[in-house]
Amino acid sequence: MLQVEAVHKSFGDFTAVYGANLTVGKGDLVAVIGPNGAGKTTLFNLITGQLKPDKGRIVFKGEEINGLPPYEICRRGIGRSFQIVNIFPRLTVFENVQVAVLSQQRQSSNIFSPARNLAVAETNDILESVGLLDKAGNIAGSLSHGDQKILEIAIALGNKPELLILDEPTAGMSPEETAATMRLIKQLASTQGLTILFCEHDMDVVFDIAQSIMVMHHGQTLIQGKPEEVRRNKEVQEAYLGGEVDA
Amino acid sequence: MLKKFVGSLLATRYSLPTLGIIIVLLIWPLLVPRFYIYILSLIFVTALLAMSLNLTVGYGGLFQFHHGAFYGVGAYAAALVLTRTSLPVWVGYIAGPIAAAVAGLLIGWFCVRLSQLYFAMLQISLGSLIWAIVFRWYDFTGGDDGLYGIPRPSILSSTNNTYYFILLVLVACLVALYIIVKSPFGATLQAIRDNPQRCEAIGVNVRRHQLMAIVIATFFAGIAGVLFVILERSVFPDLLFWTLSLEIFIMCLLGGWFTFAGPMLGAAIIVTLRTFVGRHTEYWTLILGVILILLIFFLPEGVMGYLLRIGESANQRIGEAANQRIGESANRRISGRS
């Protein structure tokens, strides 16, 4: 479904991503891991268009998408959440998701019909599936950090993505929240047939739920394979033992 | 549909005050001398201008710093058609908003490619360019003399009729603006204000949306410009000067830019101040400055925001918590980058 081939990105003298390769098949649950500063977030930003790659190809459903603006990539079926909470703080929880659903329905430029009657059922379904329905009327900025991270995912679901990219969905969460979020992600993958690409610091979580793991180090892809292969790989062990141990 | 709309208006807790205000406005001309009818008409015109600005500033989060330029373009377009051509009057009245929207499209097209302060600086420059053209082009625009004695149809010749006409147009525009703000477009616009980056990631073409907001806002500014021509029967380059843009920006902040009707209140306060304080001293902006400082310290959400907050004291804690969270997440974002 998604192929990333030899993608490079540098900021001035600093090379953030130096030859990253990644394959995501339909229905997979793929994790990207690597020490801090390995280029995981940059890679995600390259895939979803927030950044443009210097070199390399990104192919989604057989079409090259590198260099397209983010909204165009989203419309092709890639939704994402962000590592640092990235919501609409002054809107309600309901409106946060509704805006995404309206965009998916191509209603964003409609200036005549009242928005409160549109996309209500779809929005409520999403809020229910992530467990935020009882907070639908709250101002998003007033939610707890954990709920805001869940809202991140809910917003991304509003676009009915085929591929959902989650950049550290559990960053800053307590262990209980992390476990609940991971259950949610697993559940979304199985019940909605979503393909999910995520990155995560908690190694137990990653090796527990991912079907395929890609390891990044200094902007490069070391290996992509099944959890057991990755666990046995020498280079991976060195990268983690040599650098900071995040696991 | 209309029945439902009126019904929902009456159902809210603001229906009684609103009804009271409407009645007062309707009988106002019967109660007061002509000067006060004129002042209220001027407040209506300015209120519409401030409301149109707030679509971009309050709802769109855009640094629309030279909105006055479009007001002036609307006024001049109408005035020029009415004085320089023999076209029917309504052509002039329609030319105003259209010319303003076209100017908004042209200037906005460049501005939305820049962010925040750069957006503001470019708009001030391009708006000032229009001002300079109008100011210098004596043969066509009358230069710094402006144009005066602009004809108006006989039905609008009395002060009272002008008053009611302007009130009617204002109400129609408010209904239109309300519908726009509550539409999917309006919801998306507010989402862009809160977080443009996130909006791109949910498939919204942010620049196109912002440009659309500018065109709509400048269209309504053009209507306000036409109303000014109807009221004053003259135009002058000050309408396009940047100080006026600053003034309407302050109206939005003063009235409450996160509320729908706030800018109208701000316009009423400032026009009243300018009229009555300005009578005693030419330094009335000094008082405006003091008010602005007090506003920033004590009413950061504006007068209307403050009034609504008193009305909803039950929700107050939630609102404050929201603001605090916003502050925190902003801090996190900043520290997260470093």
Q: Two tokens at A86?
A: 């990235």
| Average pLDDT per consecutive 10 residues, chain A (247 residues; last block may be shorter) | 92 90 92 88 94 93 92 95 92 96 94 92 95 94 94 94 93 89 89 90 85 90 90 81 49
Torsion of CA B245, B250, B253, B255, to 10 degrees: -110
Dist. CA B190–CA B186, nearest whole Å: 6
Q: A95 to chain B: which residues are within 8 Å by CB?
A: 187, 190-191
Residue B300: per-residue pLDDT = 79
- Per-residue pLDDT tens digits for B109-156: 999 999 888 999 999 999 999 999 999 998 888 888 889 999 888 888
Residues 97-136 of B with CB under 8 A from A: none
The B residues from 186 to 205 touching A (CB cutoff 8 Å) are: 186-188, 190-191, 193-195, 197-205
Q: DSSP labels for B112-164?
A: TTS-HHHHHHHHHHHHHHHHHHHHH-HHHH-GGG-EE-----GGG-SHHHHHH
Exposure on the CB side of residue B24, measured as CA atoms within 13 A: 7
Cβ-defined contact of A109 to B329 (cutoff 8 Å)? no
Q: Kindly determine whether residue A95 and residue B199, on different chains, have CB atoms separated by under 8 Å.
A: no
Q: What is the pTM of this model?
A: 0.87
How far from the centroid of its chain's Cα atoms is residue B209's Cα? 19
Contact B195 A88 (CB under 8 A): yes
pLDDT, tens digit, for every residue of B71-81? Answer: 999 999 999 99
- The interface pTM score, or ipTM, of the predicted complex is 0.89
What are the pLDDT digits (tens) for B254-295? Answer: 888 888 999 999 999 999 988 888 888 888 878 888 888 888
Count CB-CB contacts under 10 A for residue A110. 18
